[in-house]
Amino acid sequence: EVQLVESGGGLVQPGGSLRLSCAASGFTFDDYAMHWVRQAPGKGLEWVSGISWNSGSIGSADSVKGRFTISRDNSKNSLYLQINSLRPEDTAFYYCAKGSGTGPYGSGTYYSRFDLWGRGTLVTVSS
């Protein structure tokens, strides 16, 4: 079955850290860019970070630069998000998403639409 399964969310204090994971199955993981997208409860979608198939192209939203780090391990069909210096405004569902299509700079970048999503993992930042 083609799916993405996130894990690693939870309750963390401000200033704390978490590592989110996304396990992919049912498709050739290292053929595709991958992304993290978040959604605060009752709010809209916000792209967090994306990574190309070979980790050679990485991008992040300004709101998380310097605090969040995306990575992948193609041998394990897994995507990760290391999140540090957490703030209350980081409270959200974090979705893993598979990239599809080619962006304006070719197939070796993270620019893509998202054609497969996981169910999300909730990160709550509160004291």
Q: Are 20 and 118 in contact (CB under 8 A)?
A: no
User: 80 vs 109, which CB is nearer to another protein?
Assistant: 109
Helices (H) and strands (E) in the chain, counts: 0, 11
Q: Quick check: 68 binds another protein (CB under 8 A)?
A: no
User: 5 vs 15, which CB is nearer to another protein?
Assistant: 5
Structure tokens at 71: 């990575």
User: 54 vs 100, which CB is nearer to another protein?
Assistant: 100
Q: Quick check: 76 binds another protein (CB under 8 A)?
A: no
Pairing between β-strand 92-100 and β-strand 113-117 as defined by DSSP bridges: antiparallel
Backbone angles phi, psi at 2, to 5 degrees: -80, 115
Binding residue (CB under 8 A) for another protein from 44, 66, 75, 127:
44
Amino acid at 68: F
User: C-beta of 47: minimal distance to another protein in Å?
Assistant: 4
DSSP state of 65: T
User: 104 vs 127, which CB is nearer to another protein?
Assistant: 104
Residues forming contacts to another protein in the complex (CB under 8 A) are 35, 37, 44-47, 50, 59-62, 95, 100-101, 103-104, 111-115, 117-120
